[in-house]
Amino acid sequence: MVNPKGGRGQAGWRWAGLRPRLEACLPNTSFDVLETTGPRSAPAQARALAEGGCSIVVAVGGDGTVSQVMNGLTGTDAALAVLPAGTGNDFARTLGFGPNIDAAVDALVVGERMRMDVGAWRVGNQSGFFINVAGLGFDSAVADRINRGFRHVRGSLAYFAAILSTLRTYRPRRLSGLIDGEPIEGQVMLCALANAQAYGGGLRIAPMASIEDGLLDLVMVGEFGTVEFLRNFGRLRRGNHLSHPKVFHRPFRRLEIEVDPPGPFLVDGELFGPGPVEVEIRPGIIEVIA
């Protein structure tokens, strides 16, 4: 499944060069190629492929494409595979090959499967699953800024440019809710709900997270001024920010939260809501090629 608009158009032209290589590497394998037909069309298309007998469905695009394909495959016998051709390619980092598309092809040829967890989410009457990281607050505002601009900037540079732009106007929000039944509250810059370790083009927001431990990870960053945030940005990229006194981390199975003033809910790069958020872990409900 190819998202021709993935990675701001990268996925379409990269796939054109990949297809002959896959045919050469997998001479005894038959495969069909489908393009996504519109925004959020991938779940229904992926499920139709799985129900039609496909054993592996390959997402060619970025994290959003991967997430949508995953949503269509949950509860089926088909495995998910990834050929990274997006802006961040963060879930591909979790699978061990990152943006290296040659290594991703090698993984697909070997075809080693593993069971993985996903996060289930609900905001009002909207619901679904996330494969990577969901969040409320500053990260949602950054994603919105990326979606509205920086069309000529790619990869990590696009995220950093959006961060600088968003910092000028963003203000921390009041968070409250329940984590595994216990009250939680605070004034936060951002609140990340992580199944995997990284988002935003390599920001290791949850370095302890695992896609096969039966848990999600909550990471809350408290009030930071612009200069303080930028001074600690390197720690966020390296994943050694959890020791900072303004950072809170806790694994969990179920979480109910809301922020005031309300803001959009970020799910694998897409925005939903706003409104109170419910999130819980769904252990081992899909296979992935790693």
Going from the C-alpha of 113 to that of each of 56, 69, 78, 117, 178, the distances in angstroms are 10, 17, 11, 13, 35
Q: What confidence score (pLDDT) does residue 194 get?
A: 96
Nearest to 266 by CA among 164, 140, 153: 140
Question: What six digits make up the tokens of 283?
Answer: 């252990």
CA distance 177 to 277: 9
**What pLDDT is attached to residue 153?**
57
Q: What's the CA gap between 44 and 1, in Å, rounded?
A: 12
The reported pLDDT for the residue numbered 150 is 58
Tens place of pLDDT per residue across the chain (290 aa): 998 877 666 666 677 778 888 888 888 887 888 888 877 899 999 999 999 999 999 999 888 899 999 999 998 999 999 999 877 789 998 998 888 888 999 988 887 899 999 999 999 899 999 999 999 988 788 777 776 665 555 556 777 777 787 788 888 889 999 999 999 999 998 899 999 998 877 888 999 999 999 999 999 998 887 788 888 878 877 888 988 889 999 999 999 999 998 888 999 888 897 889 999 999 999 999 98
Domains (ranges, CATH) in the chain?
6-111 (3.40.50.10330), 122-284 (2.60.200.40)
Instruction: Determine the pLDDT at residue 129.
Output: 97
CA–centroid distance for 60 within its chain: 15
3-class DSSP assignment, residue 59: strand
Q: What is the pLDDT of residue 274?
A: 86
What is the predicted pLDDT for the residue at 151?
53
CA 54 to chain centre: 24
Report the 10 Å Cβ neighbour count for 187.
12
| Dihedral pair phi/psi, residue 77, rounded to 5° | -90, -5
Rg (CA), the chain: 18
pLDDT value at residue 101: 86
3-state secondary structure of 128: strand
* Dihedral (CA of 66, 69, 73, 74) sign: positive
Give yes or no for a contact between 200 and 90, defined as CB atoms under 8 angstroms apart: yes
Amino acid residing at 31: F
The reported pLDDT for the residue numbered 282 is 97
Contacts of 82 (CB under 8 A, 6+ apart): 58, 59, 66, 91, 92, 95, 104, 288, 289
Per-residue pLDDT at 37: 85
pLDDT for the residue numbered 52: 92
The residues near 119 (Cβ < 8 Å, ≥ 6 apart) are 129, 130, 131, 134, 193, 195, 216, 279, 280, 281, 282
